[in-house]
């Protein structure tokens, strides 16, 4: 994808190099302190005086109270040793920021066509783990995700390498597809689709809920494709870009992932759609480039 003439997004929070929720900055809230404590206890374990010192330090440094410190919950056990040193250059961050800005431009325009106002999300670039506003502690090992609670897309740039090495989906546009897919979830949040999805999901079986989740995911793929048409219209696509996105959509299909992980496919547990479904909804988005043709909930998927 040609990005030289694109501007960067001004809605990016770069949290890289921050050690975790507690010491990263004031925006993380109190809940991270328990996580820090847990991490230190597990990784060091130097006896109770050390622990007391940590608690006291936590009180002064974090401004929390003992309740916050000992109020550990299961999501905070995410503080395991999953950290792998990031090898990405800032070039990757610039690319992602420009793609993100491009989605903002596109969706603002599309919402306007529908008589709606688009409130764009924010992008958080982080490493290791970070506190989200309503989705617990985001962990890099979980891959990129969107948090509806704070309307932010979270990404650890090591995923860029993972796409190439682990998922065999190389290329800048593979990464662009991933970003556009996450932004697609924000579009669903803005349009109220996510809210009705969450309401429906509560009163149905797990199997039916999985099937509904597949439709939500395929719609995000459709929206990613719609954005791709927008950049094609701006003459920003390079040879092979769409193939890169299709390859990535194939690589992260549930059947392909399950096949690789378990050697078999379990359709009832699908939550993202098969490789073929994901590719075909991305291509449909690329064909129409609008909001209207992306109703995966009533379509025969
Ligand atoms: Zn998704």
**Judgement on whether residues 51 and 99 belong to the same structural domain of the protein:** no
CA-derived radius of gyration, the chain: 20
Look at residue 66 and tell me if it is in a domain: yes
Instruction: Tell me the C-alpha to C-alpha distance, in Å, between residue 115 and each of 108, 122, 291.
Output: 10, 22, 12
Q: How far apart are CA 271 and CA 254, in angstroms?
A: 7
* 10 within domain boundaries: no
Write the burial class of residue 24 (CB in 10 Å: 0-12 exposed, 13-18 middle, 19+ buried): middle
The answer for 191, left when phi > 0, alpha when psi is -120 to 50, beta otherwise, is alpha
How far away, in angstroms, is 23 Cα from ligand 1 center? 30
For each successive 10 residues of the chain (301 residues), what is the average pLDDT?
93 82 38 34 37 40 35 35 43 93 98 97 92 89 87 90 85 93 96 94 92 93 97 96 90 81 77 90 97 94 88
Residue 95 lies in a domain: yes
Same domain, 40 and 181: no
61 is a domain residue: yes
- Domain C-terminal end among 35, 51, 78: 78
Whether residues 63 and 119 share a domain: the answer is no
Q: Considering the domain boundaries, does residue 8 fall inside one? A: no
Distance from residue 25's CA to the centre of ligand 1 (Å): 28
The alpha carbon of 174 and the centre of ligand 1 are apart by a number of angstroms equal to 14
Q: Which of 78, 100, 127 delimits the end of a domain?
A: 78
pLDDT of residue 19: 54
- Strand 129-131 versus strand 122-125 pairing type: unpaired
Domain that holds residue 43: 21-78
267 and 149, same structural domain? yes
pLDDT tens by residue, 206-225? 999 989 999 999 999 999 99
In a shared domain, residues 59 and 99: no
Q: Is residue 7 part of a domain?
A: no
Residue 294 falls inside a structural domain: no
CA of 148 to the centre of ligand 1 (A): 12
Residues 69, 33: contact at Cβ < 8 Å? yes
Q: Cα of 71 to ligand 1 centre, how many Å?
A: 31
CA gap 40, 188 in Å, rounded:
39
Residue 15 lies in a domain: no
Kindly state whether residues 180 and 280 are assigned to the same domain: yes
Report the separation in Å between the CA atom of 61 and the middle of ligand 1, taken as the mean of its atom positions. 37
Pair (201, 74) in one structural domain? no
**194 shares a domain with 117:** yes
* Residue located via tokens 């969107």: 146
| Secondary structure in 3-state letters for 204-267 | CCHHHHHHHHHHHHHHHHHHHHHHHHHHHHCCCCCCCHHHHHHHHHHHCCHHHHHHHHHCCCCH
pLDDT the model gives residue 20: 56
Give the integer Cα–Cα distance in Å for 130 and 144. Answer: 12
Pair (119, 215) in one structural domain:
yes
Number of structural domains (the chain) is 2
**Cα 181 to averaged position of ligand 1 atoms, centre (Å):** 6
Residues 68 and 146 in one domain: no
Closest CA to 273 of 223, 188, 208, 213: 213
Give distance in angstroms: CA of 179 to centre of ligand 1: 10
Q: Which residues of 69-96 are buried (b: 16+ CB within 10 A; e: fewer)?
A: beebeeebebbeeebeebebeeebbebb
Same domain, 60 and 103: no
CA 220 to centroid of ligand 1, rounded, Å:
6
Q: Cβ(43)–Cβ(153) under 8 Å?
A: no
User: Which residue, of 52, 78, 104, is where some domain finishes?
Assistant: 78
Shared domain check, 154 and 69: no
The rounded Å distance from CA 153 to ligand 1 centre is: 11
């Amino acid at each position: 994808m040609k990005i030289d003439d694109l501007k960067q997004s001004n809605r990016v929070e770069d949290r890289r190099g921050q050690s975790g929720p507690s010491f990263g900055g004031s925006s993380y809230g109190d809940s991270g302190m328990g996580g820090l404590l847990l991490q230190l206890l597990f990784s060091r374990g130097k006896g109770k005086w050390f622990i007391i010192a940590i608690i006291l330090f936590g009180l002064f440094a974090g401004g929390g109270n003992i309740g916050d410190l000992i109020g550990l919950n299961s999501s905070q056990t995410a503080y395991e040793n999953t950290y792998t040193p990031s090898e990405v250059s800032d070039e990757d961050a610039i690319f992602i920021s420009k793609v993100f800005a491009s989605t903002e431009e596109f969706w603002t325009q599309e919402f306007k066509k529908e008589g709606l106002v688009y409130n764009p999300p924010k992008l958080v670039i982080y490493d290791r783990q970070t506190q989200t506003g309503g989705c617990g502690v985001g962990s890099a090992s979980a891959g990129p995700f969107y948090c509806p609670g704070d309307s932010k897309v979270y990404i650890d740039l090591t995923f860029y390498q993972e796409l190439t090495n682990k998922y065999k989906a190389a290329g800048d546009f593979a990464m662009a597809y991933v970003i556009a897919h996450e932004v697609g979830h924000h579009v669903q949040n803005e349009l109220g689709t996510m809210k009705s999805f969450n309401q429906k999901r509560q009163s149905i079986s797990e199997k039916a809920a999985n099937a509904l989740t597949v439709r939500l995911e395929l719609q995000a793929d459709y929206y990613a494709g719609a954005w791709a048409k927008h950049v094609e219209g701006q003459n920003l696509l390079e040879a092979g870009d769409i193939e890169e996105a299709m390859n990535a959509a194939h690589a992260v299909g549930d059947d392909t992932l399950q096949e690789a992980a378990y050697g078999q496919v379990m359709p009832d547990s699908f939550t993202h759609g098969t490789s073929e479904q994901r590719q075909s909804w991305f291509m449909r988005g690329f064909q129409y480039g609008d909001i209207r043709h992306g109703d995966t909930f009533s379509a025969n998927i």
